[in-house]
Structure 1
């Protein structure tokens, strides 16, 4: 999910080099049969510079915003069976993220660089969003609700507490004193999209752990891990209380995306298989409380098939997907408090998308892009010092920053 935004010739050259390296780290596609009957694989069709992932991520963020718009403005959101469609879009995010984050780990070949890149991608914009929501959105929402702006500084659910309680990504405080929900009543949720980011970060850590112990380079082990998570998902859908349903959900779907990358040379890209997988997903949505129990792998296949087959090759210079995801909810809350729901569902949602995209653009220009430019900072590029013989380790034990070898 990292994007090089530098326009200098040197940076462009480095970007091309990284893309070539990424192609080398992708599993080699299996050769076609002499008669040409073998279908192309994901490895053969995935081009790091020419794919639909940017548009797909933006579309998924927009879809989540539309679903939340109907909930925040009118108290309802579309469902298929017992599953709200916003959750399906979030699952799509996790599949794409699993694919790209695994690629990033294997490409970088350094746990330190990987952790720094992941931190820059998610944390700074999240923190700024917390501050903006507490310092600007909450007081304005209180005023729109007939309260004083200063009321948000009172009580245990104060605006400062909102920032401090949620600063580690785990959302422990969802509302602020004096901000009411105009649709559902009671205290409003200031930003109901942020809670998934904790699970995203946990999945980043899972990829790092699996990479360090070698699971990402031993296909059978990764396949076994996915099988165990699938079995646990089936058990949870059958009523077994595992106590970790959300973590199970996100880790399972994320690792399916990771497996899509690791097994890319074995995954055929077939329209017929994508259609059958889509039918299986629809059946799972209608028949089960958790469609992943039936169609988790099928869902991941549909998302990855779309990444290489959809004719949406546009690569915007501004990546608005993350900003749109984290800012659309507070924008919709303010619109609902201002009475914009009288416009009707379509105008309300369209206006919220327009304003949320403006907030996302500011987030990209002022926070995300400047932070991502620091991903190759000199301190993170510098090799770690090597230990001397007899000092508790063998020479050159700072191997954490060495590139991974594909033969291992």
Structure 2
């Protein structure tokens, strides 16, 4: 039945279809509050100029460095339940990387230029690290072992020159040099480099997924890809159905691809993803609980990714330094710790050894940024790198340039 009063008259008389009196007033005030202060999304909370991405990346690299220092020097590393903290930190790296490189791809709108940026960010620092290990740290380690430093360059089946050559393509085919080893029997000169091949594979995967679709299709494709990778990881880890992937595409690739794609989905769905402390608390509880399971990623990967992205916009440390030391700290801390162990620095005790190794690694990371990574990134806008295939989408977040992006 139609009403004989207008909405304005009904409001004055205190009678509407919503009810009357205090109940109606509460509903009206609630609706006005929701309209004035809508739930904040990741897109609204993320400020490209003031966020915690840089500090989180350095912090995650620091967690890995500390864990490896305790493992290399003293035979243990911190864990949460049955999950090493270093594994969680590396997963966090991949979540943030997925978020960042998806921004980069959609902002650049060119697969070729995106690939050029990724190569500049990954390979120059990696190649320089291989050379420093082969020409400086390996001879120093040989000297500490009482051997001829020059012999490691060419002697034996795994000389230093071969270490550089066979590993230059990111796939680590030679881990040691000339049988150098710590007293505990560790022979890998840099046990952190193996993850970089998976990062490069994830770069390619997100380019393939996003370069062929418009914005709406990108969202659907990323959602489906996350489910497919999660299901594949479930089949391999729980049901034990063996997959026959090519070369390095094993369960490690599935693990990294899952968290990477979740980070990418965080960017593509940023305008729909609420940023709520209650969600963060619940996600943190799930992450802690699943850390006690054999594989925390199967039940907890989505919550872990949400917690990482929530921290990006809510952590109070929102300083973006002009030098990005996270990559250098990640690739140099292991060989530094290898040499310090041979030098007997473990005699200082656990935490003095940790502090010393991280400090030396940060010095090498600073040199890497100043001499290699920074100059390489200044070539990002080279004119000869044209557009190969544009990415058909709009960028949901404003993304001015950032060091290392």
TM-score, L = length of structure 1? 0.84
The separation in 2 between residues aligned to 1:212 and 1:273, in whole angstroms, is 31
Query: Could you say which residue in structure 2 is the equivalent of 1:266?
Result: 272
Query: Could you say which residue in structure 2 is the equivalent of 1:296?
Result: 301
The separation in 1 between residues aligned to 2:215 and 2:200, in whole angstroms, is 18
Which aligned pairs between 1:347-362 and structure 2 lie closer than 5 A?
347-362=352-367
Query: Could you say which residue in structure 1 is the equivalent of 2:13?
Result: none
Change (3 A) 1:216 1:234: farther
User: Runs of 5+ in structure 2 lacking a partner?
Assistant: 1-29, 245-249, 396-405
**Does 1:191 pair with 2:190?**
yes
TM superposition shift of 1:339: 0.2
Question: SS of the counterpart of 2:93?
Answer: helix
**Does 1:156 pair with 2:157?**
yes
300-309 vs 210-219, which deviates more?
A: 210-219
Which aligned pairs between 1:179-328 and structure 2 lie closer than 5 A?
179-182=180-183, 184-185=184-185, 188-214=187-213, 217-218=216-217, 219-240=219-240, 241-242=242-243, 244-286=250-292, 288-328=293-333
Which has the greater radius of gyration? 2
Aligned length: 357
Query: Could you say which residue in structure 1 is the equivalent of 2:93?
Result: 93
Query: Could you say which residue in structure 2 is the equivalent of 1:79?
Result: 79
On the 8 A contact 2:111/2:391 being kept in 1, the answer is no
On the 8 A contact 1:142/1:178 being kept in 2, the answer is no
Question: SS of the counterpart of 1:279?
Answer: helix
TM superposition shift of 1:145: 1.4
Question: SS of the counterpart of 1:157?
Answer: coil
Question: SS of the counterpart of 2:121?
Answer: helix
On the 8 A contact 1:215/1:222 being kept in 2, the answer is no
On the 8 A contact 2:94/2:256 being kept in 1, the answer is yes
TM superposition shift of 1:405: 4.2
What do residues 306-363 of structure 1 show as CA deviations (whole Å, max 9, x unaligned)? 0001111111111101000000111111110000001000000000111000000000
The separation in 1 between residues aligned to 2:89 and 2:150, in whole angstroms, is 37
TM superposition shift of 1:256: 0.3
Question: SS of the counterpart of 2:131?
Answer: helix
TM superposition shift of 1:146: 1.9
TM superposition shift of 1:214: 1.5
Q: CA RMSD in A?
A: 1.9
On the 8 A contact 1:73/1:341 being kept in 2, the answer is yes
TM superposition shift of 1:239: 4.4
The separation in 2 between residues aligned to 1:130 and 1:205, in whole angstroms, is 23
On the 8 A contact 1:142/1:180 being kept in 2, the answer is no
Query: Could you say which residue in structure 2 is the equivalent of 1:12?
Result: none
User: Runs of 5+ in structure 1 lacking a partner?
Assistant: 1-31, 384-397
On the 8 A contact 2:332/2:364 being kept in 1, the answer is yes
On the 8 A contact 1:145/1:337 being kept in 2, the answer is yes
Query: Could you say which residue in structure 2 is the equivalent of 1:35?
Result: 33
